[in-house]
Amino acid sequence: MELLDSFLTFLSVEKGLSKNTLASYESDLRRFGAYLDENSIALPGAAAGDIIDFIDLLRGRSYALSSICRYISSIKAFYKYLMIERLRGDDPAETIQVPKKWERIPKALSFDDISALLDTRRTGRTVMRDSAMVELLYASGLRASELIAIRVGDINSDAGFIRVLGKGEKERVVPVNGRAIGKIRRYVEEERPRILGKRQSEYLFVTASGRPMTRQRFWQTISSAGRQVGIELHPHTIRHCFATHLLEGGADLRSVQKMLGHSDIATTQIYTKVTSDRIKKVFKKYHPRA
């Protein structure tokens, strides 16, 4: 699709979007285009009803709310581009609203579950690396994509912080506790040289090929760590735990927002809902008149 290619080029040049984000746009629009083709409709000529029918199809197939939101955002951006380029005189996606993501409350593990996860002894060739990654994830609340992109020079061990490049290429500084720093130091001194062999890499967490770990490989690492303690786990769960446990401990919302790298504090406010629900459960369980 030449039109789709020109749209992706526009996003890359004018908006400066990352390759991963561009790939998501392309995947979403190709899937939508395939749906339209089945109904003999060209992608540039879709009507509002066609978009609504497609979204209903995704809902009927039990797509996650986050995935549906992403599809809608991709479609809205595409037709807005057609308007900018005067390739359409109307915007069929203009009135279609993106569902509120934060109506869906994230799951957070208890502190005991997190402690069991971090304290469990592991075995294997990369046990120090994997343990350091899990520890750092909980200590800093990083996204998985941010974690695997960390370079050796991003860690300031003495000061106890890490420099992170987040969404939209925005840089932030996140504090890291001594336990995580200790595990990272041990990994860097003992295991990382063995993994790399004669290879060189600027990335902190590396694989036997000398390259940074992929998101898929890290997902497998986290899932495996969770299974060892009987927990179904993925990287974002630990990020949720980081935020929820901070707020439960008395941290203010603005500080948590900065550490998570949220541009909008409304995104961070979902965690206040999580902590409120937990308080209610405790009240109902332990108050004699609840």
Burial of residue 171 (number of CB atoms within 10 Å: 0-12, 13-18, 19+): exposed
pLDDT band at residue 120 under the 50/70/90 scheme: confident
Q: Is the pLDDT of residue 105 over 50?
A: yes
- In the chain, domain spans: 2-99, 111-285
Check whether 208 has a pLDDT greater than 50: yes
Report pLDDT for 168: 73
Please list the alpha-helical segments (H only) found in the chain.
2-10, 19-38, 48-60, 65-84, 111-119, 127-140, 144-148, 178-186, 192-196, 215-228, 235-248, 253-260, 265-268, 270-286
Whether the per-residue pLDDT at 199 is higher than 70: the answer is: yes
Beta bridge partners of 173: 163
pLDDT of residue 136: 95
Confidence of residue 106 (pLDDT cuts 50, 70, 90): low
| φ/ψ of residue 213, rounded to 5 | -65, 140
63 catalytically annotated? no
Catalytic residue among 234, 236, 258, 278: 236
Q: Which residues contact 45 (CB under 8 A, 6 or more apart)?
A: none
Burial class (CB in 10 A: 0-12, 13-18, 19+), 90: exposed
> pTM score, two decimals?
0.61
Please tell me which residue in 129, 239, 240, 245 is annotated as part of the active site: 239
Alpha-carbon distance values, 9 to 81, 86, 91 (Å): 11, 17, 20
Please give the pLDDT value at position 102: 45
- Segment 208-232 mean pLDDT: 85
pLDDT tens-digit readout, 242-290 = 988 998 888 888 998 999 988 878 778 777 766 665 556 655 666 566 5
143 is annotated as an active-site residue: yes
In tens, the pLDDT along 139-182 reads 999 988 899 999 999 999 889 999 998 877 788 999 999 999 99
Contact between 259 and 142 (Cβ < 8 Å): no
Buried-exposed string 103-142: b where 16+ CB fall within 10 A, e elsewhere = eeebebbeeebbeebbeeeeeeebebbbbbbbbbbbbbbb
Catalytic residue among 88, 186, 262, 278: 262
Q: Is 287 a catalytic residue?
A: no
46 versus 1: the higher-pLDDT residue is 46
Catalytic member of 143, 183, 240, 245: 143
**DSSP secondary structure letter of residue 250:** T
Its CATH architecture, for the domain 2-99, is: Orthogonal Bundle (1.10)
Q: What pLDDT does 81 receive?
A: 93
Residue from 72, 109, 45, 83 nearest 237 by CA: 109
Q: Quick one: pLDDT at residue 280?
A: 61
Annotation says 271 is catalytic = yes
Distance in angstroms (rounded) separating the CA atoms of residues 35 and 213: 34
Pair 172, 258: CB distance under 8 Å:
yes
Active-site hit among 167, 199, 227, 280: 167
Beta bridge partners of 203: 151
pLDDT, tens digit, for every residue of 15-73? Answer: 788 888 889 899 999 999 999 999 899 999 999 989 988 998 888 888 888 888 899 99
Task: Report the pLDDT value the prediction gives residue 1, as an integer from 0 to 100.
Answer: 63
Residues 8, 22 contacting (CB under 8 angstroms) = yes
Q: Which two tokens stand for residue 224?
A: 């495996």
Q: Give me the residues paired with residue 228 across strands.
A: none
pLDDT at 65: 82
For the domain with range 111-285, which CATH number is right: 1.10.443.10, 3.60.21.10, 1.20.1050.10, 1.20.20.10? Answer: 1.10.443.10
Whether residue 187 lies in the annotated active site: no
Average pLDDT of the residues in 116-123: 84
76 is catalytic: no
